[in-house]
Structure 1
Amino acid sequence: MTDSPTYGFDTLQIHAGARPDPATGARQVPIYQTTAYVFRDADHAAALFNLQEVGYIYSRLTNPTIAALQERIATLEGGAGGVCCSSGHAAQLMALFPLMGPGLNIVASSRLYGGTITQFSQTIKRFGWSATFVDMDDHEAVAAAIDDNTRAIFCETIANPGGHITDIRAIADVADAAGIPLIVDNTTATPYLCRPIELGATLVVHSTTKYLTGNGTVMGGCVVDSGKFDWTANDKFPSLSQPEPAYHGLTFAETFGPLAFTFHGIAIGLRDLGMTMNPQAAHYTLCGIETLSLRMERHVENAMKISAWLENDPRVDYVTYAGLPSSPYQHLVEKVCPRGAGALFTIAVKGGYDSCVKLVDSLEIFSHVANLGDARSLIIHSASTTHRQLSPEQQEAAGAGPNIVRLSIGIEDANDLIADLDQALAKATA
């Protein structure tokens, strides 16, 4: 199939990156369960290793099943290329790796998944990197947090756990003024609800574990490059704009143009960090993406109905779903996520911490798991789990206080989900 902008999303989510297998005619993308690939001859092998020819060398770097997934996600996001890896956390490091160095920093949203906050506030210090956390609603504060050592801004389209929507265009303008890339985690929105590159993002990262796969079976991550950032405009990004010693002085930006970041992610990132996706995981995710638009429509429909019911329930203090008319982020839905505000949000339960724990333990359809974006409805008390490592101040800033539970609304019958919440809230607040 020749990918074209004339094809609609529903067509591309099935066909992009997928071609009949040339050897067998198999219509579904095969699982290429192999570690290595036979070279035609010595010259062919040398050309591949010298990045003079594109092909398959070793499955830590490239694999046909994973390549199909990379092409599909990049196409759906409107990017120039993509690199898949072992998890969403791996994708975040893969996105930062070509940009960073000792003494450099990023400006990150204070509303992020708890594991991301820990990765940025603690783990990356071991590389000599650092992060400054800022409320992305305050665009002037974001700009003020940037200094000469800042190399990127990082945010989520729909923030986990609260479901707050980021004004990506406004933050992209701040990044452009500073000459640095904007990295957007689009996991909770997916390219069906939002295409951050069209709003000015440079890089898009995903935990493919979530909505893209959609069935809670396999881990994965992806980095999509817009192909629009000029890495040679200043001297801030030498990994891309300066000669690379490991490839005899090749300069990625000069040699690969719009695909510079993508090729660096494979030839350097996967080669040296080794955070490789396995081909079976790629196959499961390819299958999941085929129904992405259908699932997201039901996710949003259910989330609207359930959040409205919860907002009117006297046992609930408030609901953070951006799709509600009462939400301070409702005005950004049409601008950022015109097909809906996703299916992730939090509720504040009357009775605080103890009532939240009892609610989680009393549900029957909702699953108590540390995941989101499943076809099944999920719930978690973030303060005692995913955000447990954070200080009370960080938990509050992230929207994960002790009286908060996070809901990931699935695609079940919405009335059944409401009935389940109703009986559990009765027990939790009795």
Structure 2
Amino acid sequence: MTDSPNYGFDTLQIHAGAKPDPATGARQTPIYQTTAYVFRDADHAAALFNLQEVGFIYSRLTNPTVAVLQERIATLEGGVGAVCCSSGHAAQIMALFPLMGPGKNIIASTRLYGGTVTQFSQTIKRFGWSCKFVDFDDVDAVKAAVDDDTRAIFGEAIANPGGYIMDVRAIADVADAAGVPLIIDNTTATPYLCRPIELGATLVVHSTTKYLTGNGTVTGGCIVDSGKFDWSANDKFPSLSQPEPAYHGLNFHETFGGLAFTFHGIAIGLRDLGMTMNPQAAHYTLMGTETLSLRMERHVENAQKIATWLENDDRVDYVTYAGLESSPYFERAKSVCPKGAGGLFTFAVKGGYDACVKLVNALEIFSHVANLGDTRSLIIHSASTTHRQLSPEQQEAAGAGANVVRVSIGTEDAADLIADLDQALAKATA
């Protein structure tokens, strides 16, 4: 298909990047379950390895099924290219890999998925990197945190677990002034609800495991390149703007321009880190993207109904859904996520930690799992699971206190979900 800005989202989510298989005419993208590809001749092989020609060498680097998914996600996000990998966590490391070096730091929101907080506060120290966590609602604090060693700013468009909405444009202005890229995790919002690149983001990362796939079958990640950042504007990003010793002195920005980050992600990132997405996972995610807009509309519709019901229930202390007029993020959501505030939020149960545990155990339709973005409604007590590694102060800052449960609202009948919550709350607060 020839992509065009005239095509609507519903068309692109089905057709972008795909065309009938030239060998068989198969309409659905085949699963190219192969490790390697036959070269036409020695010159063809050399051209591929020199990045003088685009093609397939080895499936750790490129695969036809994965390539279709990369083009589709990049198109939906409004980027110039994308690199798919094995998980959302892998996508975060791969996004930082070309930017960072020993002694360098990133600035990240305090409102992040607990696993991301652990990755940034602990794991990246092993690379000699560090992270400063800042409340992104305080834009001046973000500006003050930037120093000469800052190489990126990272936040979530809709924060997990609380569903808080980030002011992407305001933080993008801070990043621009500092001459560093803004990386936005758009997993919870998806490109249907939020378009971070249009709001100033340089890179967008996804856990494709979640809403993009939508059926809880495979893990995956993706980094989308806006193609708009000038990597040569300063000397902060030598892997992209200077001769790369890991690729026989190739200057990626000089050679590939707006696609520099994308080519580096494949030629260096996937080559050396090996965080490869397998073609079967790409196939499942491609099928998921075909119904993304339909699912997100139902997720939002159901979340709005359930959050409203919970807010009016005496057994609940508060609800964090940004689609509620009582939310401090209600007005911001209209501009950042104009099609809805997503399907993820938290609510606090009267009775605290013990009541939350009883609630989770009493639910029948909601599944108790460490995942989100499924067609099925999901629940988890973040303080004892996904955010367990954090201190109580970090848990509170992330919106995952001991009295809070996170819900990912699915596409079932909203009345059934409300009835399930009603009977479980009755048992939890009796």
1:402 counterpart letter in structure 2: A
SS of the residue corresponding to residue 318 of structure 2 reads strand
Distance in 2 separating the partners of 1:246 and 1:300: 45
Q: 1:25 — aligned with what?
A: 25
1:139 counterpart letter in structure 2: V
Distance in 1 separating the partners of 2:363 and 2:334: 33
Tell whether 2:201 aligns with 1:201: yes
| Alpha-carbon offset, residue 245 of structure 1 | 1.9
Tell whether 2:329 aligns with 1:322: no
| Alpha-carbon offset, residue 244 of structure 1 | 1.2
Distance in 1 separating the partners of 2:404 and 2:340: 23
- Map 1:25-424 onto structure 2 (within 5 A): 25-424=25-424
Give me the CA root mean square deviation: 0.4
Distance in 2 separating the partners of 1:304 and 1:225: 32
**Runs of 4+ off more than 3 Å:** none
SS of the residue corresponding to residue 364 of structure 2 reads coil
| Alpha-carbon offset, residue 343 of structure 1 | 0.5
Distance in 2 separating the partners of 1:286 and 1:110: 32
| Alpha-carbon offset, residue 48 of structure 1 | 0.5
Distance in 2 separating the partners of 1:387 and 1:250: 42
Distance in 2 separating the partners of 1:54 and 1:2: 18
CA distances 1:409-428 after superposition (whole Å, capped 9, x unpaired): 00000000000000000000
Distance in 1 separating the partners of 2:282 and 2:209: 10
| Alpha-carbon offset, residue 250 of structure 1 | 1.1
| Alpha-carbon offset, residue 301 of structure 1 | 0.1
| Alpha-carbon offset, residue 189 of structure 1 | 0.2
2:193 counterpart letter in structure 1: L
CA distances 1:210-262 after superposition (whole Å, capped 9, x unpaired): 00000000000000000000000000000000001233221000000000000
CA distances 1:129-155 after superposition (whole Å, capped 9, x unpaired): 000000010000001011000000000
Distance in 1 separating the partners of 2:169 and 2:39: 46
CA distances 1:347-387 after superposition (whole Å, capped 9, x unpaired): 00000000000000000000000000000000000000000
SS of the residue corresponding to residue 361 of structure 1 reads helix
Distance in 2 separating the partners of 1:46 and 1:343: 48
Distance in 2 separating the partners of 1:22 and 1:320: 49
TM-score normalised by structure 2 residue count:
1.00
Distance in 2 separating the partners of 1:2 and 1:291: 20
Percent sequence identity over aligned pairs = 86
SS of the residue corresponding to residue 40 of structure 2 reads coil
TM-score normalised by structure 1 residue count:
1.00
How many corresponding residue pairs?
A: 430
2:61 counterpart letter in structure 1: L
CA distances 1:294-337 after superposition (whole Å, capped 9, x unpaired): 00000000000000000000000000000000000001111100
2:120 counterpart letter in structure 1: F
CA distances 1:182-233 after superposition (whole Å, capped 9, x unpaired): 0000000000000100000000000000000000000000000000000000
CA distances 1:41-92 after superposition (whole Å, capped 9, x unpaired): 0000011011111000000000000000000000000001000000000000
Distance in 2 separating the partners of 1:412 and 1:134: 37
Distance in 1 separating the partners of 2:345 and 2:338: 17
1:382 counterpart letter in structure 2: S
1:28 counterpart letter in structure 2: Q
Distance in 2 separating the partners of 1:389 and 1:369: 17
Distance in 2 separating the partners of 1:244 and 1:110: 34
5+ unaligned residues in a row in structure 1: which ranges? none
Distance in 2 separating the partners of 1:378 and 1:249: 49
Distance in 2 separating the partners of 1:246 and 1:111: 35
SS of the residue corresponding to residue 47 of structure 1 reads helix
Q: 1:15 — aligned with what?
A: 15
SS of the residue corresponding to residue 14 of structure 1 reads helix
Distance in 1 separating the partners of 2:163 and 2:189: 10
SS of the residue corresponding to residue 400 of structure 1 reads coil
Distance in 2 separating the partners of 1:104 and 1:250: 23
Distance in 1 separating the partners of 2:374 and 2:258: 34
Distance in 2 separating the partners of 1:297 and 1:284: 21
Distance in 1 separating the partners of 2:194 and 2:383: 28
1:69 counterpart letter in structure 2: L
